Amino acid sequence: MALVGKTAVVTGAAMGIGRALAEILLENGAKVALLDINEAAAERPLQALEQHFGAEKTIFLKCDVESEEQIRAAFKKTVEIFGGIDILCNNAGVLNETSWEKTISINLMGVIRGTYVALEQMNQLSGGRGGVIINMASMAGIGPLLSCPSYTASKFGVVGFTRAMAAASEASGYGIRFNAVCPGFVQTDLITNIPVRLGQFSNLAAATHKLVDVMGTIAVSDVAAAALELLIDDTKNGEALLVLQSGATYMQFPTFNPTQNKPL
């Protein structure tokens, strides 16, 4: 997909990976609606993006991904201003084992909510233009992170949901590709103060820090570049792209043929 003239929605866009996603989309010619619950945190980044790319290319919409009503209103406003939606980046996420229900609600249910509302605008079967949905997963969605079981569950869910939606879209003719980015440890607030985020698993903080030391960290720009690759390559559908300091790898999974009931 060529991004020039396309419209993208990015959740959790005020800072970190979300802001990097917005920047790379704008750099490649897209218009971007930045969604975030934190209006104050978004103010300065939005001003910087408007100054660099033009105020007509960006909008900020306050949105809590735990609220279907707010998601629906934000998408409707995006369509009113930009004329449609071609790209959705479900990026909003948290890591907090002290509140596992909220972790699941934001990381997994927020992705599902956002996707299902986006389908109303993007699905070619209902008059949409098709497009691409990128879901932000994690390396924890590929292999479990011992100190973060709920976070791990949420990200495994994102990978599974992405792959299932990709297959459903292809079989049904939605005209939408679905892919997941699975970053390792990223230089964001998410991995800051890890011990206070681990709750009953705080005894495993040292093991987590050791894993960070061994694996290293990556920049938000590395994650954004991986998302861009999945966006522009029309052959990518149902992919989970693992992004580590050592490089990016497309994960291999078993696929089942529903007509023959056996793996391919």
Write out pLDDT tens, residues 108-156. Answer: 999 999 999 999 999 999 999 999 999 999 999 999 999 999 999 999 9
Whose CA is closest to 118, among 108, 129, 107?
129
Q: What is the value of pTM for the model shown?
A: 0.95
pLDDT at 188 (0 to 100): 82
CA 260 to chain CA centroid, nearest Å? 33
Domain assignment present for 107: yes
User: For residue 65, which of 43, 87, 88 has the smallest C-alpha distance?
Assistant: 88
Domain count, the chain: 1
Which CATH number characterizes residue 61's domain? 3.40.50.720
**Which pairing describes strands 262-263 and 256-257: parallel, antiparallel, or unpaired?**
antiparallel
Nearest CA to 134 out of 93, 177, 171, 73 is that of 177
Whether 73 is in a domain gets the answer yes
In a domain, 25, yes or no: yes
260 within some domain: no
Tokens (6 digits) for 229: 């690759």
250 domain-assigned: no
What pLDDT is stored for residue 264 in this prediction?
47
* The residue type at 175: G
- Residue 254, pLDDT score: 86
Examine residue 96 and state whether it is found in any structural domain, yes or no: yes
pLDDT value for 81? 97
Residue corresponding to tokens 């964001």:
188
Position 195 in a domain: yes
Token pair for 74: 């934000």
pLDDT in the model for residue 165: 98
Q: What is the pLDDT of residue 46?
A: 92
87 vs 104: CA distance, rounded Å = 23
Q: What pLDDT is stored for residue 15 in this prediction?
A: 93
Taken as a whole, the chain contains a residue count of 264
Domain that holds residue 164: 7-244
Question: Does a structural domain hold residue 127?
Answer: yes
* Spans of the chain below 50 pLDDT: 260, 262-264
Q: What is the CA radius of gyration of the chain?
A: 18
- Which residue numbers are catalytic? 151
